[in-house]
Structure 1
């Protein structure tokens, strides 16, 4: 008997996934906090139960997501496995010789590492394509990015292998329907979502899987020039130069600090700040520490050992409030159920990125989180914004 039995909505999704995989390509669309990785890993484990000689390749773009996938497979296999399934790590500093060793088992690989290896070895992906039976891509809205698409097509197309994607946001953009439609076509317009008799997000909130989100806003006039607005209009997302300008806005930062202290006074024990830049994360954290709060910052340059230490402390049971400030690190592959508030101080045109940031706070009581959470968005009065997770979930329905 598993310590964490599957929930009914996950079991229903697994049944539908197995049925739809006959069509070769399918994308699973489930909200953050509903157990996407766990659901798909059960499908993977069941394939090994049917044939322990299979080779499955699980692809993700970050080390955190890769490690999360490995832990989920170990959990799924621990109680139901009937043989030993080798796991091959091929991401970050892990350099398993996949051609030599991976005839069967589970390869968990970083997409960038797969692509860079393929550039140096023309036969690398072709040999793996001969062996693999199922390819899985996490955060599948990225599947049609040029380098990632190359890896997927090399692995899948040669023998028409099965491809399974998972994502909370089955689109690439907020408003570019052409690109979103391309993603839909890539997965043969086959999407599975939760069939629960009501809106999936509302169902998950009602059943305690997702916290009820209390939206709050800091309205701020960043005094963007017409030139700034033109740059934003031309760019896929907010340009770094604009983010840096906002990060240095003293009035804006004072309001962010004030809101953080208000959240702590209201009883929030774990708060994440998504800053506008690396320096912004550092500056906000430094000010909070100087004002007597427990706060630290992490970014892509933080050494892994130090980053892991800080994250363990943040996830711990200490009763004192802890605020973690970051830039571009904690949007995916980070699960800290004690988080009950986030401040999104990094403006974005990407509904995908926004949804990922919101997702860090919405674990519900049934999965170790809270009944309610608070999401504070620092909204520039001259820029568009998002403020509804139900609308975010539905945004791409028309292209599927």
Structure 2
């Protein structure tokens, strides 16, 4: 670990600043001194870099040198309490403005910590005097919920802090609310200096074109549940965990409660130590589950997106993205939960089951946050869509299924290329599936002693058939759920019929003699 080069003075705390944190504070105070009093400054620092430490020291120094007050805003109650505790550790006496807070003694405090919705209500009801607030700090500033409060602080210096200065709403870019961005230390530099652990990523090529995008710009919970609660996807998740993370502390992110519950039952059924957590849990339940997760070395916690911010558990070894997202912020937040260093932990595992790596690039890639802040739409428009991503996939049999077809030299069949060749030759698109069925049948027969063996093997091809049908549906521009479901059933029936009618002939072609009776 890099040595500490600057120790905080004049306060009762054991917190220390590292060189990059000290440099950030200096940059921010330079802006505070040189810019107008209502300047809006945004500071970016990766998850795990110590944003709360930095702005807590900023509050301490500000209050020491100015006669005005400070307000810190968060978007969740857990963050509110954690921030208040950190400020207290820095010797800053603060008042938490929550729904139960008595504000009769507010003039005694020079620092307030408030959750955005509660603060909005208190300000609209004139219950909190903010006339002498000179500095407003906004934690997780990329959330759009804060924008409605800016009208109350027209004479205050606003400092927003975030790991990802990119709004999920194209109509509300962050450069509309902030004058300037100061990018902090990169993830790669933090890893190189032992402040963060390095991610070892295992990603799977996933067929996601059935997912639908909602009004918030991300995939809908319903379409995600339809896909990720299917037996094939639950099995893929279990296989991926068993291969890359068996016995390690694992946090699974899902899009929706139903999916997380199905994941819980799937893992529980095979005797794995797993618990489920979502936002319907009581405070007591949440506390008990998180304590169990912290204290159990091989614990698996399946959750929805509630643990993306304000949750620090350095003992996590594996993050599983059992979902797709179109949000760069969410992508970085989810993976960041595993990046905390602890003792000799220098790396952690990420299992991506949502093509997120293809969509955003590797976590920790050298993103130009300054350019993204200035031209967010340019960046957003360049994010690859699922069809484009999947057009590069060569979807073949899984290793487990391929082992059952060891006599087959080639198991891959290029539907797209076969379609293009057929249509160029003026043939009907139906010949594509006919040729695919013939190839599947050949694979089954060359690995079987009789027709019953071949039909049994054909059942193992379900996932491969699904993949081929999806590609075929795109080729003919017909991909409704009902049509594809019918095609898959029809394909399986025709494959079985082909095997019954042609087994002897194909077997003799392969082996040079008819099958033994």
Indicate the TM-score class for this superposition, using the shorter chain for normalisation.
0.7 to 0.9
* 1-structure distance, mates of 2:104, 2:42: 28
Give the deviation of 1:330 after TM superposition: 0.1
* 1-structure distance, mates of 2:366, 2:163: 9
* 2-structure distance, mates of 1:310, 1:43: 34
* Equivalent residue number for residue 133 of structure 2: 132
**Compared with structure 1, are the counterparts of its residues 397 and 99 closer, same or farther at alpha carbon in structure 2 (3 Å cutoff)?**
farther
* 2-structure distance, mates of 1:192, 1:264: 37
Q: Please point out which of 129, 138, 163 is paired with 1:168.
A: 163
SS at 1:336 equivalent: coil
Give the deviation of 1:38 after TM superposition: 0.7
Q: Please point out which of 50, 59, 64 is paired with 2:65.
A: 50
Cα RMSD, aligned residues only: 2.5
Q: Do 2:203 and 2:353's aligned partners in 1 also have CA atoms closer than 8 Å?
A: yes
**Compared with structure 1, are the counterparts of its residues 116 and 57 closer, same or farther at alpha carbon in structure 2 (3 Å cutoff)?**
same
* 1-structure distance, mates of 2:291, 2:335: 21
SS at 1:332 equivalent: coil
Alignment of 1:125-274 (within 5 A): 128-142=129-143, 145=144, 147-154=145-152, 156-157=153-154, 160-173=155-168, 176=170, 179-180=172-173, 183-188=174-179, 190-194=180-184, 200-222=186-208, 224=210, 231-232=212-213, 236-265=217-246, 268=248, 270-274=249-253
* Equivalent residue number for residue 361 of structure 1: 338
* 1-structure distance, mates of 2:146, 2:232: 41
* 2-structure distance, mates of 1:32, 1:302: 25
Q: Do 1:222 and 1:249's aligned partners in 2 also have CA atoms closer than 8 Å?
A: no
* 2-structure distance, mates of 1:396, 1:173: 17
Deviations 1:118-163 (A, max 9, x none): 45x1x34xx5330312111111112xx2x52121321x10xx1111
Q: Please point out which of 267, 274, 292 is paired with 1:288.
A: 267
Q: Which has the higher strand share?
A: 1
SS at 1:48 equivalent: helix
Q: Do 1:264 and 1:321's aligned partners in 2 also have CA atoms closer than 8 Å?
A: no
* 2-structure distance, mates of 1:244, 1:384: 21
* 2-structure distance, mates of 1:169, 1:257: 31
Greater RCO structure (CA 8 Å; 6+ sep):
1
Q: Do 1:88 and 1:102's aligned partners in 2 also have CA atoms closer than 8 Å?
A: no
SS at 1:251 equivalent: helix
Residue 46 of structure 2 is aligned to residue 26 of structure 1: no
Give the deviation of 1:393 after TM superposition: 4.2
Give the deviation of 1:272 after TM superposition: 0.6
* 2-structure distance, mates of 1:248, 1:302: 21
Structure exhibiting the larger radius of gyration computed from Cα positions: 2
The alignment of Structure 1 onto Structure 2 pairs a total of residues equal to 359
* 2-structure distance, mates of 1:254, 1:300: 26
Alignment of 1:288-367 (within 5 A): 288-316=267-295, 318=296, 320-365=297-342
SS at 2:195 equivalent: coil
Residue 362 of structure 2 is aligned to residue 376 of structure 1: no
Residue 284 of structure 2 is aligned to residue 279 of structure 1: no
* 1-structure distance, mates of 2:142, 2:216: 19
Q: Do 1:295 and 1:323's aligned partners in 2 also have CA atoms closer than 8 Å?
A: yes
* 1-structure distance, mates of 2:172, 2:365: 19
Residue 82 of structure 2 is aligned to residue 68 of structure 1: yes
TM-score by length of 1: 0.82
Q: Which consecutive residues of structure 1, in runs of 5 or more, have no partner in the other structure?
A: 78-84
Give the deviation of 1:110 after TM superposition: 0.8
Q: Which consecutive residues of structure 2, in runs of 5 or more, have no partner in the other structure?
A: 1-6, 8-12, 375-517
Give the deviation of 1:99 after TM superposition: 6.0
* 1-structure distance, mates of 2:323, 2:160: 28
* 1-structure distance, mates of 2:369, 2:184: 16
* 2-structure distance, mates of 1:112, 1:260: 39
* 2-structure distance, mates of 1:388, 1:394: 14
Q: Do 2:319 and 2:335's aligned partners in 1 also have CA atoms closer than 8 Å?
A: yes
Give the deviation of 1:235 after TM superposition: 5.2
* Equivalent residue number for residue 81 of structure 1: none
